[in-house]
Each structure stands twice: as structure tokens, then as C-alpha cells.
Structure 1
Amino acid sequence: MSLFIKKGLCMVLSLMLVMVWGMDALAASGSAGGDDTLQDPELYARAAVLMDGDTGRVLYGKNPDQVLPMASTTKVMTLIIALENASLDEIVTVSAYAAGMPDVQLGIREGEQYVLKDLLYSMMLESHNDSAVAIAEYVGGSVEGFAAMMNEKARELGCVSTYFITPNGLDAQDSLGQHATTARELGLIMRYGIQNDLFLEITRTTAYTFSDVDGDRTFSVNNKNALLTMIPEAVSGKTGFTSGAGYCYVCAVSSEGRTFIIALLGCGWPPNKSWKWSDVDVLTDYGKENYHYVRAEMDTSALTPVRITEGTQETAGLSCEAGTVRILLRDDENVDIVQNIVTQTQAPVFAGQTAGSVAYMVGDTVLYKYPVVFKESIPMTGIGFYFEKVFSTFF
């Protein structure tokens, strides 16, 4: 028997934006690329996004969905997979294949052993390709096995255009496609990564020293993410370059409680290594000047009860955990609360059973979505119910 007899129409409620948190309202208004009063930032990158770190919404995009090679920004995903599938103190034995990786390399040798944690620092601070492959072979059993783990994780994060072949980002292609991503999806991967404290600890470290397990060789690595020392707002980041990808960069920047994710692909070729820093500066300023927090909330106690047919009660109350949220908006943007809830259904229904959803939306983008559930269980009517009803009516 179908649970839902009649679907309720979507109800769009206009939401009053009740409070600006910590920032003055900004004079500029408009839509990126749409309103003449809001100028598009001028960027060097072939593709770029400025993303809200809270929700993953793209605040500004230049060719955000163009598929392009990503160079060593790949290692953001390599770090994520390693942290989620191995312990930092595990021992990695270097293969001949890993030791043979081209520059940039740490110089590890076949048969040497290293603590996984140390190789992760090597990979993220100085982008060593040999360390990345050694990590991949250990965690995934092979480079191919590790790439499969990377691609599976990418799909979990909603990255439908990203395809990983190598753990270090060297240009590659196979029968299924090119090692590549989009600016939007690279931003989503970084957004996910910075939610892990170990990810932040490693990528924010400025210098690190370690030895192989036998203590025969000692290495010192320094963080090549210059943004960490250029601006105090820098949270994390990863550089990259190959001849096919050009200069690439992905980072997180925090400003007055706001977290911006910036992803740049194809941001120039030698000798224009500094173009990425210019683009980061432009996009950070764009976010600061045009986006501020507002508080959005709805009265969930006012949800309309659902009509119940063939049940011991005529209506059932609803419950929803939707609370107060803060959302980055431009001055010309509004938040809508969209309720998609059944108006009528047939008994039985059960407490906690889903009756629909409430979503906070900006334009066509869902930023937060919460389930709406029945507060109580209502059984179907039976012969005993009808006998009791007749008895109470006449006696």
C-alpha cells in the first residue's frame, strides 16, 4: 500500500533576513556577470571559482565547469584518502616505481622505509611526486587501486567531472579519460579537506624534519604554499604545475568569520608564476566586498498538520530540526524557505517517519535541507475502532 496518497504542493515562503552578523551592509549589489553595478573580477586563470566554505555555493565562477588538468592540486585528494584509510604511524616501503618518479622529488630510494606521516608532509609541503606514489602504493595496494579510491571519494563529494589517474597530478590519460577536474569540483574537494584537523595541521606547517626508519638519512622540507606567509587569513592551500596544466592553485581563506574557497586552473605558464597570487587577491577582495552573513530562520512549530485518512486520528502533527542558519549573501539576493510536505496520507503513519522536507534556497541552489517527520504514530482504523466510536456516540 502506498504511503502517500496525495503529494502536497511545494510552498515557497518569503523569508525575512533578520540580522547581519558582524558586518555592515555593503553598497554594491548585483549578480556576478549579470548586473552592471557589480563588476566581474579580472582574472588570469582559465577557470576559477570563489566558493562559500560553509555551503559549497559558488559565489563567483569563471568557466567553473570546464574540465582541465589539475597538476599537483591532485595531492589534496591524495592526502584525504591517506588520512581516512591509514594510520599516521604506519611504515611504508619504497618501491622502484615510486623511487623513479620525476621532479619534484624527495629522493627516496627503493627498499627504504618511512613513516607514513613523514611522507605526507613531504608530499604536501614540497609536492614530492615520489612520496605521493609511495603513499598511494601503500594505502591502495597500487597506483591504480589508489586512483579508484580517489575517484570513489570524488563521486561521494558530488564531483561528476573529476577523474584521477595519478596520485601526484602528473599529466596522464587512459582509456577512460584525462586526469582532470573542474574549478568547482576542485573547490569542493578542498572544502571537504579542511574539515579534517590533521589535514589542516599538515598543510599549515611551515617546516618539517624527518628521517627514514633506519635513521640513515634526514630530510627537511619547507612549505611552498607562499600564501601562508603572504596573508594572515590563509587557512590551507596547495600549488601545482605541469606543462599541460599550467599553474594551478586551490586554497581556503578566512575573513571575519567567513571562509572562502578559491580554485584556479590554468593560471598562466612560465614565467608567470605569480599570477595565481594576483587572482587569489582579486577573488578574496571580491568576496569580502560583496558577501556578508545574514541569519535565516523559520518557525517550525507552525508547520501545518497532515490530514490522515483511514486512521484513528484525522490529522498528524509534524516536527522539523530546521533551525537558525547563517548564509553568505550579496545585497541583491534573498533566501527562500521551500516546504515540500505531503498534505494528506493514509494510515498507518509512524513517529519519526518522513513526511517531506524544508529547504533554505538562494535562487535555484539548495543550501540547507532538513527532513520533516511525523510527531506521532497513527494506526489504521479497524472494526474495534468503529464499534467504540458507535458506542461512545449512542451510549
Structure 2
Amino acid sequence: MPDLSSQQDALFAKTGFLLCLCLLAWLLSASGAQAQPEQVPPDIEPPDLTSAAAILIDANTGQVLYEKQADQRFYPASITKILTAIVAIENGNLDEPVSVSEAATRVDGTRVYLVPGELKSLRELLYAMMLNSGNDAAVAIAEHIGGSVEAFARMMNQKAKELGATHSHFVNPSGLHDENHYTTARDMAKIAQYAMRSPIFREIVATKTMPWNGKEWESQLVNHNKLLWQYEGATGIKNGYTSIAKQTFVATAKKGESELIAVCLSAPSQPQMYRDLKLLMDYGFEAFEPIPVVSEKERFFERDRSREIALRTSREIHVQRPVAHASMKEEPITRQVILEPLRYPIHKGQQVGLLKIQWGNQPAIQVPLYAAEAVPLPEEKQNENTPSLSLFFWPGIAMAAFGILCFILYRKYRLPRRWRDYVQGSVQAKRSSSS
């Protein structure tokens, strides 16, 4: 019969061995889990484009997500009409009738076949220009707003300069080729970003078709922008072509909180241009994600001449973060208010400055800041503009004293003469009666 104590020792040994095996297995699995690398989304490679120049930006902030020869000069062709449209919208009455000149009807290129003397509203001409790319409509608009094509071109260049599109020059409203009519991908992105803030402009460029009742023909205008049918989320804007400029395009698309603007210049063919645009948009939406940095209700307070001014953005502001960085350490975000020289009073909603946002080592972006409330004229300015009572007090006293003095002198010399006249009259009356 086996010894009971030896059996117990064997049982304890087996149990201890099993426990050690379990502990070792747990330690190995735990260390393996810790050693397993964190799953980080792979970098999405930027697209390889056939267009000679291109840029992709965030429509709200202007943050650049991709660029290729973005500052190189190219001929824009009909994407010029983006600037033509926004200048006309800001300087004209959309419902005002426009009389078409003979010069407008003789312009080269794509037309909607306007006839001399035909009356069309400015709104109709804008649709004809942006949907059907009518050069005759563009010239009619320019002559109506500027008085002449040359004067309107000066307005276009002034607006481009205001928007920071300083590497561009325009000589006509349609984009017909001219050696002195040029732009860059970055400049066109800035112009498009500004134009897309206009609700009227957005409505026009998002329209797919529109009935057209011309003086000599009726038809339906079809937007030349095929992305409106071919790319989900497309919202605009305009294509262009000349034999020298080749294919040009500015496109916008929106998905979720992100809206992007893509510009392609000098693409070799229309199919390749649309391929480039789709690649750019896909890259922007897949490789980046919007991170909120300013809420719509957030207020910024800045002091100006001893008073505090409440500022706000027009919407929630996001920065586009590469998806591959999503699991990494958050980059610091700094925000700086840049106040413009102010002229009072300030109206609610008036742009008064910029908010500069820096995310990590990414290029800084700037968004407009608006007055959250109306700000009246400062009190000291009111005092400067309102004449002080002291300005009138002493001159008033002097004038009053002068008036009193004149009255006294008048009484002093006027009354004796009246008395003499009275006495002389009495004497003469007595003499007459006695005689």
C-alpha cells in the first residue's frame, strides 16, 4: 500500500507544475499583447496627376491638402468666369434688365446666341455664363456692370488683389486667350473659396439644368460640369478649355463636415482632367479627417482703445488632420486674433479681423472674424464729434453784451431826437394856430 504522504507530495508537485505552466502562459500572452504594435492606418499616397498644375484646399479654411506647381502661371480659359460672376453679383442688381450689345453677340467661342438689343436679366445672364459657358453672356455682363470690357477687367483685377490672388491678371470676362490673361492654381482656389461663400453663386453653380427662352431660340441649358452627375457630393464650380490653355477646372465637393476645392490647370484631355479631379477629391476625403478647433458659439474678446469687443466665426471651424496621425499624440493648436484697424460704429456681423490657427507644424490657416454684437461710437469720439458747450458759451456772452450795448446806444440817441421832433412839431402847431 503506497505511503499517503508520498501521494500527497506527488499531487502537490503536479498541481504546482500546472500552476507554473498557467502563470507562464499568462505572462507570455500578456507580454505578447503589450508588444503587439498599435494599429495605425497606413499613409494614403498623394495622387499622381496628369494636370500640369493642381491644388486641393479646405473650402472653409483654405488649408492646403495637396499642391503641384500651384504658383506657376497658366492660362485659365473659362474658369475666369468664376471671378466675373462674383464681381457682377457684388456690383449689380440681379433682376435688372441688361441690353445686349452687338459687340457681345460677335464674341468668339461658346455662346448662348444672344442677339443685339435682346433684354435679359443679370441673373439669367449669370446662369447662361456659368452653366453653358456663354462668352456672349460674359461680355454683356461686363459691359453692363463696368461700362466696358476694359473697365470691368480693372474691377476683376482689383477684386483678385483684395482676395490675395496676386499672381493673376485678367483682361476679359470670358477667359478667351490673351498673353496677359493668366492665373495660378493657388490664386484660382482663393477666388473660388471666396465665391462659394455667396449663397447666390453657390445656387447658380450647383444648378444642373435651366430652361432658356432666348429671343430667337428656346432650349434648356445644361451645366458643363459633369462632376455634378458623376461625383457624389459635388457642389460646383466651372470648367474651361482653349487650345492653348488646354483643360482647366475648379471643382467643389462636400462630404460630412468637409468641403474641398480642387483646381486643375493644363490637363491634356477632358477624361484625364476628370480623372485628376476625382483622384484629388478621393484623396482629400480619405486621407484627412476634420477636427473641430472652434465652435460656432465660441466668442473671442479683444481690446481696442480701452474697450472689449466680442468676436465670432461664421461657423464651426475644423482643421484637416491626416488619418494616419489619428492614433498619435495630439499636436498642439494655437489660436491668435488679428484685429483690423477699426472704424466705429461697428455693425453686428461686420468682419473686423482674422483668427490665425496653427496646428502643430502645419501651415497656419486664417478665417474671418466678425463682430458678435454692434459696437457704438466710443465716448471720446462722440465728444470729439459733438461740439462742446464751451465753444458756444463765451461767443454767446459776447454777442449778448454787444446787443445790449447797441440797444442802450439806440435808446440814448434815438429818444432825444424823437423828443426834439416832438417839441418842434408842437411849436410849429402853435404858430400855425396863432396865425
Q: Does 1:295 align with 2:292?
A: yes
Q: Is the 8 A contact 1:322 1:358 kept in 2?
A: no
Q: Is the 8 A contact 2:71 2:184 kept in 1?
A: yes
Q: Which of 26, 36, 57 is equivalent to 1:51? A: 57
Judged with a 3 Å threshold, the aligned counterparts in structure 2 of structure 1 residues 330 and 166 are, in CA distance, closer, same or farther, namely same
State the match for 2:206 in structure 1: 204
Q: Is the 8 A contact 1:94 1:108 kept in 2?
A: yes
Q: Does 1:124 align with 2:124?
A: no
- For 1:152 and 1:163, how far apart are their aligned partners in 2? 10
Please state how far the C-alpha of 1:325 moved relative to its aligned partner.
4.0
- For 2:368 and 2:213, how far apart are their aligned partners in 1? 48
1:293 partner SS:
strand
Question: Which structure features the higher share of helix residues?
Answer: 2
Q: Does 1:336 align with 2:333?
A: yes
Please state how far the C-alpha of 1:335 moved relative to its aligned partner.
4.4
Q: Is the 8 A contact 2:84 2:173 kept in 1?
A: yes
State the match for 1:309 in structure 2: none
2:267 partner SS:
coil
Please state how far the C-alpha of 1:319 moved relative to its aligned partner.
8.0
AA aligned opposite 2:41: A
Judged with a 3 Å threshold, the aligned counterparts in structure 2 of structure 1 residues 264 and 94 are, in CA distance, closer, same or farther, namely same
Judged with a 3 Å threshold, the aligned counterparts in structure 2 of structure 1 residues 108 and 369 are, in CA distance, closer, same or farther, namely closer
Please state how far the C-alpha of 1:330 moved relative to its aligned partner.
1.6
State the match for 1:393 in structure 2: none
Task: Give the alignment of 1:29-178 within 5 angstroms.
Answer: 37-173=43-179, 178=180
Please state how far the C-alpha of 1:116 moved relative to its aligned partner.
1.7
State the match for 2:236 in structure 1: 236
- For 2:366 and 2:81, how far apart are their aligned partners in 1? 28
Please state how far the C-alpha of 1:276 moved relative to its aligned partner.
1.4
2:111 partner SS:
coil
Please state how far the C-alpha of 1:189 moved relative to its aligned partner.
1.1
State the match for 2:342 in structure 1: none
State the match for 1:254 in structure 2: 254
* Structure 1 unaligned blocks of 5 or more: 1-24, 29-36, 306-315, 342-355, 372-376, 378-395
Judged with a 3 Å threshold, the aligned counterparts in structure 2 of structure 1 residues 370 and 233 are, in CA distance, closer, same or farther, namely closer
Judged with a 3 Å threshold, the aligned counterparts in structure 2 of structure 1 residues 110 and 258 are, in CA distance, closer, same or farther, namely same
- For 1:337 and 1:284, how far apart are their aligned partners in 2? 28
Judged with a 3 Å threshold, the aligned counterparts in structure 2 of structure 1 residues 334 and 88 are, in CA distance, closer, same or farther, namely same
Judged with a 3 Å threshold, the aligned counterparts in structure 2 of structure 1 residues 94 and 188 are, in CA distance, closer, same or farther, namely same
Please state how far the C-alpha of 1:217 moved relative to its aligned partner.
4.1
Please state how far the C-alpha of 1:218 moved relative to its aligned partner.
2.9
Judged with a 3 Å threshold, the aligned counterparts in structure 2 of structure 1 residues 63 and 138 are, in CA distance, closer, same or farther, namely same
- For 2:123 and 2:250, how far apart are their aligned partners in 1? 22
AA aligned opposite 1:142: S
Q: Which of 331, 355, 358 is equivalent to 1:361? A: 358
* Structure 2 unaligned blocks of 5 or more: 1-38, 339-352, 371-377, 379-435
- For 1:199 and 1:320, how far apart are their aligned partners in 2? 30
State the match for 2:181 in structure 1: 179
Q: Which has the larger radius of gyration?
A: 2
AA aligned opposite 2:364: T
Q: Does 1:267 align with 2:270?
A: no
Please state how far the C-alpha of 1:112 moved relative to its aligned partner.
2.2
- For 1:339 and 1:201, how far apart are their aligned partners in 2? 33
Please state how far the C-alpha of 1:368 moved relative to its aligned partner.
4.5
Q: Please report the TM-score for the alignment, with normalisation by the length of structure 2.
A: 0.64
AA aligned opposite 2:198: N
- For 1:114 and 1:245, how far apart are their aligned partners in 2? 30
Please state how far the C-alpha of 1:111 moved relative to its aligned partner.
2.3
AA aligned opposite 2:232: P
Q: Please report the TM-score for the alignment, with normalisation by the length of structure 1.
A: 0.70
Q: Alpha carbon RMSD of aligned pairs, Å?
A: 3.3
Q: Is the 8 A contact 2:62 2:365 kept in 1?
A: no
Please state how far the C-alpha of 1:366 moved relative to its aligned partner.
3.5
2:270 partner SS:
coil
